[in-house]
Structure 1
């Protein structure tokens, strides 16, 4: 989707990005976060509704279609504190000498920045430009970048060449993100991203999902893998009882991140 340049375009992209993380948003909350009047937000919502991108509701807006996802740069401005805590908790799972695979996403990109700060001697295989860029700037990590077709929307490379390249390697841990998590397992909007995630999971001894709690019980276009294929989930808050029971039943270790560290809750 495209918008004309200007402040309105930025506001509308951020409204869509918010709806990518929450089923509905309130006009008053959006006005406060965007630093504009409620009337301005109502006009934006009305325009987005006319374009068929959101549904106007009493006091706000609802969305979105199963097959839409905010662009990488817009996702990167949301849930910043949560992603930081998740990244720091996940980095503690990595040991010097590990070979890890990291897929493309805003949370995995933040994870890479934290790894770069720690300067661990590791090998990283990734399809994400932001991940590679963060790690090549410190000398202790060896970075292998996948070939493939570049996606401007996702800031990464995808396709058959990407998956074939990944199949050449073995990894200690695969770190992946997802658009949502239900009792079935992680799901995603992008089919091409799902194939990369699956390949990384297949090639790794351990598969770790990095996901903020706003994505719990969110259904999207395609199932990445059954819950049981994951070894760990790192998130910022506990899921509801139904989802938590499924995670435990499939012997997936749940790591609850906090700003000051993280608490591990093993299955």
Structure 2
């Protein structure tokens, strides 16, 4: 692979990742962010359209929303500041001695980095390689890693063995991510991931959803659970009034991560 081809692949991964978070993007905005010409971006979009990954539109591109999600590595480069403040707010919910479950995702992976700095005497049960890799060297954290089939796309393990393993344990808190949140509840692209999230929710006293505000009112392939099955949502900005009203009606606590250390409830 030539150096140019490597740069092109990186650009195209970022375009697909952007469309995993926004319904559509403009060619001019992508060109400015990538530091290339609009014509280069148009060629990238045309190639991605031919591969069925995006849909070319007038002046830009649209994502194939319901069943497509960027790979873990690409998601990890987006909404970095938002994930940081969410992670620090969520870490404030963890107490010494807690048993927590953490599913696989870019936001939960960032959450694990914060836990490595702040948590003391906790047990973490996870299916996420990044979470386990971050916490396993911490002497004050016990890590139990799930068995299952490894997904390079999601950087985690999934399947019946994973869910059966999780069923053996009780947890104080389950921390999950999601591709979107609607009035119905959290949703996701990956069916296998949904089963892991549901299993973790079913084994924990407290069920916490971590997601940034770009995912509000975003629909994807599969509903994870009804909104009322959650106990908390930690996010970086307020949802729209209709979603706030449904969250309140479902008796779910909304934590707005307004700074890097203290979660604020709305």
Identify whether the pair has TM-score above 0.5, normalized to the shorter chain. Answer: yes
**8 Å contact kept, 1:86–1:210:** yes
**Corresponding residue of 2:53:** 53
Secondary structure (helix, strand or coil) at the match of 1:251 reads coil
Cα distance per residue 1:40-65 (max 9 Å; x no partner): 11111122222232122222111124
**Corresponding residue of 1:80:** 80
**Corresponding residue of 2:17:** 17
Shift of 1:263: 4.3
Q: Aligned partners of 2:214, 2:173: CA distance in 1, in Å?
A: 24
Q: Aligned partners of 2:264, 2:228: CA distance in 1, in Å?
A: 18
Shift of 1:188: 0.5
Secondary structure (helix, strand or coil) at the match of 2:257 reads strand
**Corresponding residue of 1:234:** 234
**8 Å contact kept, 1:255–1:262:** no
TM-score by length of 1: 0.95
**Corresponding residue of 1:253:** 253
Secondary structure (helix, strand or coil) at the match of 2:147 reads coil
**Corresponding residue of 1:199:** 199
**8 Å contact kept, 1:212–1:235:** yes
**8 Å contact kept, 2:90–2:263:** no
Secondary structure (helix, strand or coil) at the match of 2:254 reads strand
**Corresponding residue of 2:115:** 115
Q: Aligned partners of 2:156, 2:84: CA distance in 1, in Å?
A: 21
**8 Å contact kept, 1:86–1:234:** yes
Shift of 1:264: 2.3
Shift of 1:38: 1.6
1:145-184 to 2 correspondence within 5 Å? 145-184=145-184
Q: Aligned partners of 1:253, 1:216: CA distance in 2, in Å?
A: 16
**8 Å contact kept, 2:92–2:262:** no
Q: Structure 1: state its 5+ residue gaps.
A: none
RMSD: 1.3
**8 Å contact kept, 2:135–2:143:** yes
Q: 1:218 to 1:264 in 2, by over 3 A?
A: same
Q: Aligned partners of 2:217, 2:171: CA distance in 1, in Å?
A: 29
User: After the TM superposition, which segments of 4 or more aligned residues of structure 1 sit over 6 Å from their partners?
Assistant: none
Q: Aligned partners of 1:245, 1:40: CA distance in 2, in Å?
A: 44
Q: Aligned partners of 1:200, 1:5: CA distance in 2, in Å?
A: 41
The farther-off stretch of 50-59 and 187-196 is: 50-59
**8 Å contact kept, 2:96–2:119:** no
Mapped pair 1:144 → 2:144: yes
Secondary structure (helix, strand or coil) at the match of 1:258 reads coil
**8 Å contact kept, 1:187–1:222:** yes
**Corresponding residue of 2:41:** 41
